Amino acid sequence: MKTRQAFNPYLPSWEYIPDGEPYVFGDRVYIYGSHDFYNGYVFCMGDYVCWSAPIDDLGNWRYEGVIYPKTADPLNPEGKMCLYAPDVTVGSDGRYYLYYVLDKVSVVSVAVCDTPAGEYQFYGYVHYEDGTRLGEREGDEPQFDPGVMTEGDITYLYTGFCGRGDKSRTGAMLTVLGPDMLTIKEAPVFVVPGSEYSAGTQFEGHAFFEAPSIRKVGDTYYFIYSSEVMHELCYATAKNPRGDFKYGGVLVSNTDLHIDTYKPADMPAAYGANNHGSMVQIGDDWYIFYHRHTNGTWYSRQGCAEKLEILADGSIPQVEITSCGLNGGPLEGKGEYPAYLACHLFTDKPAIYLGGDKYPKVMQDGRDGDEENGYIGNIQNNATMGFKYFECKGVKRIRIWTRGYAGGTMEVRTAWDGPVLASMHIPYSNVWEEQSAPLELPDGVHALYLTYKGPGTAYLKSFELCVE
C-alpha cells in the first residue's frame, strides 16, 4: 500500500547513485548502480550500495547497505581503482551475479550472492576457455559497462565504450557466456556501431557511446544505451539477443531535448551530460531509469525515473523529465516541496551541457554522507526552476524559502514562457527566510516555474502551495 509520494530523484537528496539498473525480485524493486560522492572529483568514488522499494510503494525506498566494497576485487586490494557501472543477473542456480569493470583495467569482474542485496563475494573474471581474460586477448577491445541477461544456462554480456574520434573502438559488443557465468562460449561480436562506424546506418546521429543494457518485452529484446550525444538514452530492438538490432529512438534525455509539448524541441530544459539507465516493469507499468547531474559537475549524479508507454508496434515514445516520475501521476497540489525536485533548470542563455558559473544547480550543505536536504543554489538573473506536475485544487497562495545576497524578485508561472501569476521580493539574508504572495490557480494539473530577476545570487530551499 502506498504510504508516501514518489519524487525525482527517487532516493534521498543526499544520495548519489547513477547508472541505475532496476530489477524486480519478489515484491520489491532493487536499484543497482555506481556510487558517486557529493563534491566528488571523479566518477564512481564509492563502494556499491543497494536501495529497494516495495513494488506498490515506490516512494518508500530502503537503504540495503554496502553490497560490495571496491577492495573486494583481487586487482584492487588498496582501493585505488573505482567501481564503474555494474549490472546484475540471476544465474540458472538461482544466485545473483554482479558484473562490473574497474576504472583502469579492460576485464570484466564478477561477484556473487545468494540474495539480491546481501554481501556479494568476488567470483572471478570473464574468460575464454583457455583462461585468457576477456579484454586481454589480441584483437579484443577494452571492456566497459557490462549489461547482462541470463536465459536458461546462457548469459548474454553486452559491453563497450566508443568515444568520438576513436577509430580503435568499433561499437557495442555481445559475448555469450556458459552456465558457470564466466566462461566464454561465443566470442565477442559487434551489435550496434559507435560514432566512427555509424555513417550511412540507421544509428547515425545516435550511435552507441556507452551504457549497454538489455531487457525483454514479450518476444522482443530491447537494447538500451547512451548515445554519442551522451545526454540521451536510446533503444534498438531485435527478435534475437544476438541481433540484428534496429534503431528505435530516444527513450529519455536528461536535457529534455526533442520534446516539443511544452517548449521548442531544440530547447534544453536542464543541463545534461552523460546518461545511463534501463527499463523495468513494475506491476503493469514500464519505467525508464536514468540520472541527472548536480552541483554543477559531472561527478555527483542522482537517479531519476519516468513512466514509459510501449505502443502496440513495440515502439516507445520519448518521455518528458518530471519531478514525479514514479508517483503514478501528479503530485498533490498543496503543501511544502523541496527545491531539489526541480526537473528543469535553465537561464535565458540556452545550454545543453552543464558547466559554467552562471547556471543554477542542485547542491547541499555539508560533505558527502551528511544527510542534508538538497536545495538550488547559484540562482542569478533570469534563472528558471521548473517543477512538474501538480494536481491543484483551491490553490490561493505560494510561499518560498530563500537565502543569499540577492535583492531581486521571484516570478511564478505555470509555463516557462507564460504570464507572471505572482511575484515575491527576495531579501538579502544569510539564513533561510520565508516570502509569500497570492497565487490563484484554476483547478487541474499544472507545472510550476520560478524565475529570478535581479542582482546577486540566491538559494531556494523549498516552496509551498497553500490552499483554502
33/307 Cα distance (integer angstroms): 19
Annotated catalytic residue 210: yes
The CA-based dihedral angle spanning residues 114, 117, 123, 129, taken in that order and rounded to the nearest 10 degrees: 90
* Residue from 15, 19, 21, 256 carrying the catalytic annotation: 19
CA 344 to chain centre: 15
Spatial neighbors of 166 by CB under 8 A, at least 6 apart, are: 194, 196
Sign of CA dihedral 347, 350, 351, 356: negative
Exposure b/e, 161-184, CB count within 10 A at least 16 = b = bbeeeeeebbbbbbbbbeeebbeb
308/70 Cα distance (integer angstroms): 34
Q: Which residue has the cell 525525482?
A: 8
Using alpha carbons only, what angle is made at residue 136 by residues 135 and 140, rounded to the nearest 5 degrees? Answer: 55
Q: What is the DSSP letter of 8?
A: S
* Residue from 87, 210, 232, 256 carrying the catalytic annotation: 210
Annotated catalytic residue 19: yes
CA 126 to chain centre: 27
344/451 Cα distance (integer angstroms): 11
Q: For every residue of 386-428, which 3-state class applies, written as one string?
A: EEEEEEECCEEEEEEEEEEEECCEEEEECCCCCCCCEEEECCC
Confirm if 333 and 5 have CB atoms less than 8 A apart: no
Confirm if 151 and 241 have CB atoms less than 8 A apart: yes
Sign of CA dihedral 345, 339, 288, 166: positive
Using alpha carbons only, what angle is made at residue 234 by residues 42 and 354, rounded to the nearest 5 degrees? Answer: 40
Confirm if 294 and 301 have CB atoms less than 8 A apart: yes
- What cell was used for 434? 520565508
Nearest partner of 421 among 438, 405, 404, judged by Cα:
438
115/263 Cα distance (integer angstroms): 45
Query: Which residues are identified as catalytic?
Result: 19, 210
